[in-house]
Structure 1
Amino acid sequence: MFKIQKDKLGKIAAFLLVISFLVYIFFFSIDNLNYKIILQEKEKLILALLSTLYISIVTLLISLISGFIFNLFQNINNVFFRTLSKILREIIMGTPLLVMIFLIVYVFGIRIQIYNKTMLGIIALSLYMTPYMANSYEAAMSIISERQYLVMELYDFNFFQKYRYIILPQIIKPFLPSMINNLSIIIKGSALLKIISVGEIAYIITVISNKSYASIEGYLVMWIMYLIITIPLSLLASHFAKRFSL
């Protein structure tokens, strides 16, 4: 009983400390903070939020498919495709997202004459997330035992039957928390699209704050907007992980 009360007091103290820190940052860190300058552009902020969510969700859907294919290549019996996928994984995971965006937009995009920066930004984010999503599939598929693979071979299951009836139904639960965390990574990574003037949260707030000389207020509002999206996602991922006992 005493331990439970002690744990509760510890949690309350931690929350109070964090809240106190945030209150100081948002209201007392510098003199004359004026959030009204930023918040009066609420229509632009809402559109920026919707744009960020749109880009992130489309990127998630694409990377779910590309990550699945990438994972197949990493585990295929063909040495060429397996080696190629491993090389590409190391290259992509070793490339900063900022560089990836620059290469896709200003090298690849210009080369094939695609000038839609939102589309190119989504391609860059999707390409960047592909090996990470493949790793999530790999981790989720680790619950499939060797015995199950032997049974699938014994009953002569084809590729579709293996994934439709055995593998996919079992990996959904362990894959879900990782997928949600990857969505959070995508949302935060989308902030770098401001370098190519895509109208997401970071770019719109930067434009507003530069016009009004309120850069500190702008970054604080930007911070809270990302936290409003990512903290619930993190809590949701933790909830699913606990529920599925991961």
Structure 2
Amino acid sequence: MLSSLRPVFAPPGVFVRHLHFHEYQSMNLLHHQFHVDAVPKCFYARNSNEVEDYARRLGGGDVVVKAQVLGGGRGRGHFKENGFQGGVHIASSPSEARIVAEQMLNKSLVTRQTGLSGRTCKGVLLCEKLPIVAEKYFAIMLDRGLGGPVMVMSKHGGMSIEEVAIEHPDAVTKIPIDVTTGLTTRQAEEAVEHLGFNGDPSAMATLKGLYRTFVGADCTMLEVNPLAELEDGRIMV
């Protein structure tokens, strides 16, 4: 979700450290450090015993089990050692969550971004299963051509922005942000309208929180895909 570069503008010859955040790290950063409320209840587990315990703490019903590797397209990937399909699964009980996680943990997930060798899944993220009615795409990225951040959004989420641009070329909207003024209320309103949230104040607060995180964590890119709309109108990252 988050890619970070510290500092964003480094003088020539200065060593620059590139950081990429796992999903569970991004969730923790958003919620605890930058106080973004629209984060689902999640737990990070490193072994199958933790998976079963956390699944019970999430209510013992449906949970989403997500392999934690740095690479997009996890849902369509496969694990190299056992052929297990998909790095994102829904489990209906703690015991099923354990079985699913055992197929992922310490295995190499191969996706369109990892290369044929894949990347080792050292942990899984367990999240509450939410009643999602729509999936959107939202990102803030540093545009070096413009010399500042740009919001990129689409009503078509759940797929890569490259796929969206090919399949729905008119559905991607970009809004540049002036770093001297930051994300204005007017721009947040415009983004909410483009995303189809109809001026929802909680949606505006979430977008402002995401921009606050982008700046505060010195990100070069912050991507939420999907940005989910729930049955009750709330949005979740």
| Interval of TM-score (by shorter of Structure 1 and Structure 2) | under 0.3
TM-score by length of 1: 0.19
Indicate the structure whose relative CO is greater, using CA pairs within 8 Å and at least 6 residues apart.
1
Q: Bigger radius of gyration, 1 or 2? A: 1
Q: Which has the higher strand share?
A: 2
Q: Which has the higher helix share?
A: 1
TM-score by length of 2: 0.20
